[in-house]
Amino acid sequence: MQIALPRPATGARIAAAAPPRTTVAVAAALSLGAAWVHLAYVGPHLRQWWAYGAFFLATGIGQALFAPLILRWPRPSLAVVGIAGNIAIVAMYVLSRTNGAPLGPHANVPERVGGVDLATAGAEVVLIGLLVTILRPRTRQIVANVLTAAGAIIWALRLTGHLP
């Protein structure tokens, strides 16, 4: 005896489950906290070089705007934007602490690691992880695999002396 299960109509979309409100709220709080730190340090960076200050201003505004957007529309497409933006910010942080900023008066001069900047980078890494959980399962798997592979490649390049 066979039981026929109903099939969705052709072209029908299956609604994705909404991410947990706590996940979205914590992601928004982390983004807002990172934005506050970036905006608080615009002045000192602006005094070093205008582009350093502009970078901090842009990242602070972007992260501040992201917080209410993710609260209002916790969609996977917005999560991807947040993931990409925060990966870029964390990558610039790591670069500036290992090899120095790529441009400006302090180009290729590594900066000192401080408590505030390390905590902010840590918050951004946690934010990236939370945003990955908002993605659809297949996209989440792809993003997690790409991030893991990129991390392994960077680690291997560093250990073999190909990265400073």
Domain-by-domain residue ranges, the chain?
Answer: 21-148
Which pLDDT value is given to residue 1?
Answer: 57
- SS3 label, residue 101: strand
Which pLDDT value is given to residue 158?
Answer: 85
pLDDT one-digit tens code per residue, 58-89: 999 999 999 999 999 999 999 999 999 999 99
Which pLDDT value is given to residue 37?
Answer: 98
Residue type, 118: L
- SS3 label, residue 107: strand
Supply the pTM of this predicted model: 0.86
* Whether the predicted pLDDT of 6 surpasses 60: no
Q: Looking at the DSSP assignment, which residues form a beta bridge with residue 101?
A: 107
Which pLDDT value is given to residue 12?
Answer: 46
